[in-house]
Amino acid sequence: MKRIGSSKLPQINISKTSTSVGSNFSTTASSSSASSYSIPSSGSTTPSSVSPSNAQAISFAKKRVDYTQKVQYSTNGIGSMGTRSTVIQLLNNITTKREAEQYLKYFTSVSQQQFAVIKVGGAIISDKLQELASCLAFLYHVGLYPIVLHGTGPQVNEKLESQGVEPDYIDGIRITDDKTMAVVRQCFLEQNLKLVTALEKLGVRARPITSGVFTADYLDKEKYNLVGNICSVSKDPIEASIKAGALPILTSLAETTSGQMLNVNADVAAGELARVFEPLKIVYLNEKGGIINGETGNKVSMINLDEEYEDLMKQSWVKYGTKLKIKEIKELLDYLPRSSSVAIIDVDDLQKELFTDSGAGTMIRRGYKLSKRTSLKEFPTEALRDALQRDSDISSGKISAASYLTKLGNTEFTSYADEPMDGLAIVTKAEPVPKLDKFLCSQTAWLNNVSDNIFTSINRDFPSLQWTVDEKDENIAWHFAKSQGSYLKNGKVLFWYGINDLDTISKIINEFTASFLSGHSNNTSNSSNVFVSGQSKKTYSTVSSPKPNGTKTSTSKIALIGARGYTGKNLINLINSHPYLELSHVSSRQLAGQKVEDYTKSEVIHENLQIEDIKALEKEGKVDFWIMALPNKVSEPFIEAIESVNGNSKIIDLSADHRFVPETEWAYGLPELNDREKIAKAKKIANPGCYATGSQLAIAPIKEYLTSEPTVFGVSGYSGAGTKPSPKNDPKFLNNNLIPYTLTNHIHEREISTRIGTRVGFTPHVGQWFQGITLTVSMPIKKGSLTSEEAEKVYEDFYKGEKLVHIQSDIPLVRDIMGTHGVVIGGFKVNDEQDRLVVVATIDNLLKGAATQCVQNMNLAMGYGEYDGIPDEKIVSK
């Protein structure tokens, strides 16, 4: 760092490489009295129009470097406890324990052969056999059975060259004559045996399957000779191997119906396997760890085929095997669900790809083409309005969507969006630099690099740009990486790129700082708006009254997916006593074949429903309502299967997966605080979380009195920790104990904050009782605005007529809420300074926190009385 001039002048920080966000701006400069900014070129002087009274910092950042930790799996002996110990240790270190656990639950929710298809390049077997075997051994030891198919290209080339034969290709396809075919067959058998042997040395049962899977015709006998075009795939050898507890290790050799052996590209064969099995993961392992851009030498991290395929195939470096690979993957993905993707990675990154959100290597997906618009008439109106709800100012009601669109209609702008409008950017004309007025991306858009595609398009059309983002935006590092300069003031960061003269930089900074003097930011969008933050300013009101009387009395058939947990059992009990609901199907992999206990209306046997089963049931109209009682990030394949049929059923999801999406897609099922008409009309309902339900009900009535962030101290019974053994649900460990966990950023903290519309601090704990939650909620309020008695009256008025919310003066006790179907709020106390209100709420986490609320939402959606099937004697009365 070099300082120029006196202490009153700005500091110039020159850095060729920025390794963290902190090097781009000073977090200590976030107060109203301090600012900092950075510019893209060196050798410059202070902008004369920037006040020298505050110390400023100018820094230069060309790129951001991220670091990741790589975990290597090894074994301590065949089938030994050491192996199991290593597996457990590895699970706890794959990026985050949460990711490992959630994906294990995900993968074990489907049949074993649907876990993954892994295509192994021949070079991997030659150069990284032990690493490959180690990774596959890990999967085997945790009960996962990928279908492994390998190639043998490098070995074939080496053998042919040793025989003086030059390998010959057309369009990336090896021309295979009789002599070449003999070498191909020999190499396939050798490499297959080598991999199987390596696995068996690690205690893994592996079955070599070198033929009998692929039946093929000649691709073009005159052109390619003995090269096959697969026309059918036999699943039997693969399923038999997995059923016997052995990993299937396949070659891509095929046969004609008459028995002639044909050579098939391993990438093509892997694609055919994926079409037949529709696995959760499709992974291609190669020695390069992905597709390498032949011009830059850099790894291509993401390819969105719908947007990039045509241009990509015209690139000079896309040729031979690379061209064929991309072409085959496109043809594969064209016939799989749009959510499917193919990962091309190195063996060292296999576990990261399978068990984390971040992945590695090259990810190839269909994605969507981007549309560029310059007029409001070109937009689908409702889709545009829904996308704008991700903007905090619009979702909070600070400005209306109609007002913004009216203003936009009178402005020269260019917009960029994908087809479902998961990502939307609006660039407006401004002097001296165009302004990125809105950058609204859903979580799906961020995870699938739609945000990067949009920004690339903007960068191509606009040589210079400015935009503003909230300092606390969770994607702030991404914005720093996209910018060449930045300026921080009052919690907002002004970013820019493509500006190389100080006069222009000075002008946009002055406009930015002047906006604070007038009481508003110079950008109507305060953040990059991942959908959580985009909805974080929703204002509550009691928009509808309870609906105790229904209009429907006919029976509805219910399918419960995920019945093993405590919530599933409580749902079964409630449905059993419901006058109009009947269980038709109950799916649980662990309980398949066993009778459903505690259900007496008819005999129902647990099933292990697969995707095709669900499609068939939906197509035949045998289910009226689907309940997804599954862990987070597990239900999506089932939901996609239901929706693919376009049937008439409805879905309710008890996980957190759909609590943050726009309500035009999933209604948020908290009837006491949400519009009951929306829930009644919805085809898909997101059931709120247990902590989130109690906390929202405790905070919502005095939202208008809040001055800053409420804090929630929550303690749940150990049933909230699920059925999987852990210290959090071990009564012995919990005896005379209280366990805090997830001290920050708990999923319910996000949910409460998103729905209430203000940040909420939430700290969960586990207590030594079985079920029930107690929440102590401390809320800063306007000084002198409420007394304890007045606060209680506010709550009574707010929840008047709500059968499942009880208000009392005394502090509610968790022992009294166990087994009851509602929320009790009491203990109203305003401090002596009259600027803080504390209330206590209790809720049964398994009932109103899950099962009861599910039934309440289903009643509304099906036209029954809202409280039908919820026993009156188990509701706390006033």
Position 14 scores a pLDDT of 26
More confident site: 386 or 669: 669
For residue 398, the tally of other CB atoms under 10 A from its CB is: 15
Position 359 scores a pLDDT of 57
More confident site: 201 or 324: 201
331 pLDDT tier (thresholds 50, 70, 90): confident
Give the chain's largest Cα–Cα span: 96
Q: Which two tokens stand for residue 285?
A: 């392992």
Q: What integer is the mean pLDDT of 124-132?
A: 92
Q: Name the region of 854 (left: φ>0; alpha: ψ -120 to 50; beta: rest).
A: alpha
Whether 616 is in a domain gets the answer no
Position 18 scores a pLDDT of 33
Tell me which residues are annotated as active site.
690
368 pLDDT tier (thresholds 50, 70, 90): confident
Q: What integer is the mean pLDDT of 326-330?
A: 87
Q: What integer is the mean pLDDT of 633-661?
A: 92
870 pLDDT tier (thresholds 50, 70, 90): very high
Q: What are 198-220's pLDDT values in tens digits?
A: 999 999 999 999 999 999 999 99
Position 725 scores a pLDDT of 66
Give the residues across from 559 on adjacent strands: 585, 626
Position 707 scores a pLDDT of 92
Position 475 scores a pLDDT of 86
Question: Residue 664 CA to chain centroid, in angstroms?
Answer: 19
SS3 assignment, position 610: coil
Residue with tokens 């800053």: 708
Arithmetic mean of pLDDT over the chain: 82
Whether 315 is in a domain gets the answer yes
Whether 607 is in a domain gets the answer no
Highest-pLDDT range among 65-74, 101-110, 490-499: 490-499
Q: What integer is the mean pLDDT of 482-497?
A: 90
Question: Residue 76 CA to chain centroid, in angstroms?
Answer: 35
Whether 336 is in a domain gets the answer yes
Position 5 scores a pLDDT of 33
User: Contact 278/114 with Cβ under 8 angstroms?
Assistant: yes
Position 662 scores a pLDDT of 85
pLDDT beyond 80 at 80: no
CA atoms of 514 and 510, how far apart (whole Å): 6
Position 322 scores a pLDDT of 83
Position 159 scores a pLDDT of 92
More confident site: 851 or 394: 851
Whether 795 is in a domain gets the answer yes
Position 151 scores a pLDDT of 93
pLDDT beyond 80 at 252: yes
More confident site: 842 or 677: 842
CATH number at residue 333: 3.40.1160.10
Position 354 scores a pLDDT of 67
SS3 assignment, position 774: strand
Give the residues across from 493 on adjacent strands: 469, 488
Which residues have a Cβ under 8 Å from the Cβ of 39 and sit 6 or more positions away?
58, 60, 484, 485, 499, 502, 505
Position 664 scores a pLDDT of 84
333 pLDDT tier (thresholds 50, 70, 90): confident
Q: What are 433-486's pLDDT values in tens digits?
A: 999 999 999 877 886 678 888 998 999 999 999 999 988 888 888 899 899 988
Highest-pLDDT range among 86-95, 509-518, 574-583: 574-583
CA atoms of 741 and 738, how far apart (whole Å): 10
User: Contact 142/83 with Cβ under 8 angstroms?
Assistant: no
Whether 595 is in a domain gets the answer no
43 pLDDT tier (thresholds 50, 70, 90): very low
526 pLDDT tier (thresholds 50, 70, 90): very low
Nearest to 212 by CA among 182, 241, 177, 169: 241
Listed range (486-490, 551-555, 687-691, 810-814) with the worst mean pLDDT? 486-490
Q: What are 562-601's pLDDT values in tens digits?
A: 877 789 899 999 999 999 999 999 998 888 999 998 899 9
Whether 21 is in a domain gets the answer no
Nearest to 565 by CA among 668, 687, 688, 655: 655
Q: What integer is the mean pLDDT of 285-294?
A: 85
Q: Tell me the backbone φ, ψ of residue 749, rounded to 5 degrees.
A: -65, -45
CA atoms of 696 and 703, how far apart (whole Å): 10
Which residues have a Cβ under 8 Å from the Cβ of 431 and sit 6 or more positions away?
none
Q: What are 732-786's pLDDT values in tens digits?
A: 888 999 999 999 989 999 999 988 888 999 999 999 999 999 999 999 999 999 9
pLDDT beyond 50 at 31: no
**168: which DSSP letter?**
-
Position 589 scores a pLDDT of 85
User: Contact 235/277 with Cβ under 8 angstroms?
Assistant: yes
Position 104 scores a pLDDT of 53
Position 56 scores a pLDDT of 36
CA atoms of 756 and 539, how far apart (whole Å): 7
Domains in the chain: how many in total? 2
More confident site: 23 or 291: 291
653 pLDDT tier (thresholds 50, 70, 90): very high
Nearest to 631 by CA among 599, 659, 654, 605: 654
CATH number at residue 798: 3.30.360.10
pLDDT beyond 50 at 822: yes
pLDDT beyond 70 at 344: yes
User: Contact 433/484 with Cβ under 8 angstroms?
Assistant: no
CA atoms of 776 and 110, how far apart (whole Å): 40
Q: What integer is the mean pLDDT of 485-495?
A: 88
CA atoms of 858 and 543, how far apart (whole Å): 19
Whether 555 is in a domain gets the answer no
Position 561 scores a pLDDT of 94
Residue with tokens 């052969």: 113
Q: What are 421-433's pLDDT values in tens digits?
A: 989 999 999 989 9
Position 1 scores a pLDDT of 32
Helix (H) or strand (E) holding 275: helix 266-277
Position 112 scores a pLDDT of 53
Q: Which amino acid is at 848?
A: K
Nearest to 64 by CA among 18, 103, 2, 111: 18
Position 57 scores a pLDDT of 34
**% of the chain surpassing 90 pLDDT:** 50
Position 53 scores a pLDDT of 34
Nearest to 173 by CA among 256, 102, 262, 110: 262
Residue with tokens 């939901």: 639
Q: Which domain holds residue 168?
A: 96-106+113-357
Q: Which of 357, 375, 400 is the last residue of a domain?
A: 357
**% of the chain surpassing 70 pLDDT:** 81
Q: Which of 305, 325, 357 is the last residue of a domain?
A: 357
Q: Which amino acid is at 593?
A: G
Q: Which amino acid is at 73?
A: Y
pLDDT beyond 80 at 405: yes
Q: Which of 357, 378, 402 is the last residue of a domain?
A: 357
711 pLDDT tier (thresholds 50, 70, 90): very high
Nearest to 118 by CA among 406, 342, 422, 316: 342
* Residue burial 475-492, b: 16+ Cβ < 10 Å; e: rest: bbebbbbbbbbbbbbbeb
